C-alpha cells in the first residue's frame, strides 16, 4: 500500500510554482529574500519529501528535490561568498 505522504505533498509542489511565479514580480534586490521566505514552510513540512512523493510522481519528486537542494546551495553560497571575498583581498 502506498503511503498518504506523497499524496499530501503533491499540493505543496503545485503551490511552489504559483508562489515562486508571483515572487518574480518583486524587485530584484528582494527577490532572493522573497524566494527564501517562501521556501521555509515547504522545508519544514515533513510531507515535502522527495522519497515520499516519488511513489506518486517522478517529476514532482524531482521538483521537490531540486527546490530543497537549490535553497541549500544558496545558503552554503551565502556562507562561503564572504570568505572567498576575504581571501581575494
Label residue 2 exposed, middle or buried (CB < 10 Å: 0-12, 13-18, 19+). exposed
Radius of gyration of the chain (CA): 16
pTM score of the predicted model: 0.59
Q: Residues 28-57: pLDDT tens digits? A: 556 677 778 888 888 888 889 999 999 999
Amino acid at each position: 500500500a502506498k503511503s498518504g505522504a506523497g499524496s499530501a505533498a503533491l499540493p505543496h509542489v503545485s503551490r511552489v510554482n504559483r508562489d515562486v511565479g508571483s515572487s518574480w514580480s518583486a524587485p530584484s534586490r528582494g527577490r532572493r529574500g522573497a524566494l527564501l521566505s517562501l521556501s521555509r514552510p515547504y522545508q519544514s513540512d515533513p510531507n515535502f519529501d522527495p522519497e515520499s512523493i516519488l511513489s506518486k510522481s517522478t517529476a514532482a519528486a524531482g521538483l521537490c528535490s531540486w527546490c530543497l537542494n537549490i535553497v541549500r546551495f544558496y545558503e552554503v553560497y551565502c556562507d562561503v561568498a564572504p570568505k572567498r571575498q576575504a581571501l581575494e583581498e
